[in-house]
Amino acid sequence: MLLRQLPAPEAHAHLTGEAPPLLLDVREPWEAQTARIRVPGEQRLIPMGQLPARLDELDPAQSVVVYCHHGMRSLQVVAFLERQGFESVYNLAGGIEAWSVEVDPQVPRY
């Protein structure tokens, strides 16, 4: 298992590049309503607890950046996805909190 970590500035570059990956939010719906990362490209909200049942909504061949509040749930999801055969999956280190501090201060902190 590789468990690739992307610091927020590197994740920003990855998400706004030529072929942006899927941005997968594994927080709860109330968290997504409170704050979200706004970048072009495909985004999806699948709470961590629902992911095993909704795995078929994701393409194992697609590059994915996973995030949560502080990066702990998303790290577990990255490990899970790697075990399911996903080869290009990354954790946003520090989660949306790090994104707000290091990339976009307009994203509310909670």
**Widest CA span in the chain:** 35
Q: What does the block give as tokens for 71?
A: 């990066």
Q: Are strands 43-45 and 64-67 parallel, antiparallel or unpaired?
A: unpaired
Supply the residues annotated as catalytic. 68
Residues with Cβ < 8 Å from 25, sequence gap 6 or more? 32, 36, 37, 43, 44, 45, 46, 67, 68
